[in-house]
């Protein structure tokens, strides 16, 4: 698994704070910049703390990242489901901020 990206690459990656859920962003250097929240995640941490054996999937071609964040097409060969509100806990985040999560559809190949 790649731990360093020499060129910016669109990826879907496991959300280590919400097991089984996925986010989309840009991998560059040793980090992934989340396309939804703008947070920076270290690739090593995503790999180490993910409950998924393949915690990062690369897109073969660039796509409209806005579409991917809200449930667009996943990387080739994967199927995903956009999850509804997943966490009803109180949050420090603004009510205007909306987080979108994905889950991989197990056992389905495109």
* Reported pTM: 0.64
pLDDT for position 93: 47
Cα distance between residue 18 and residue 79, in whole Å: 18
| pLDDT digits 0-9 by tens, 62-99 | 876 665 565 445 666 666 666 655 444 444 444 444 45
More confident residue, 94 or 28: 28
Residues paired with residue 14 on neighbouring β-strands, in sequence order:
22
Q: Of 28, 38, 31, 29, nearest to 8 (Cα)?
A: 28
Average pLDDT over residues 45-61: 90
Q: Model confidence at 36, in pLDDT bands (50, 70, 90)?
A: confident
């Amino acid at each position: 698994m790649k731990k360093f990206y020499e060129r910016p690459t669109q990826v879907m990656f496991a959300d280590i704070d919400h097991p089984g859920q996925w986010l989309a962003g840009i991998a560059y250097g040793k980090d992934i910049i989340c396309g939804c929240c703008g947070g920076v995640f270290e690739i090593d941490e995503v790999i180490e703390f993910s409950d998924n054996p393949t915690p990062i999937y690369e897109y073969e071609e660039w796509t409209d990242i806005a579409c991917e964040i809200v449930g667009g097409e996943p990387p080739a060969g994967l199927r995903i489901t956009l999850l509804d509100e997943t966490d009803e806990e109180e949050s420090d985040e603004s009510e205007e901020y909306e987080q979108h999560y994905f889950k991989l559809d197990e056992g389905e190949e495109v």
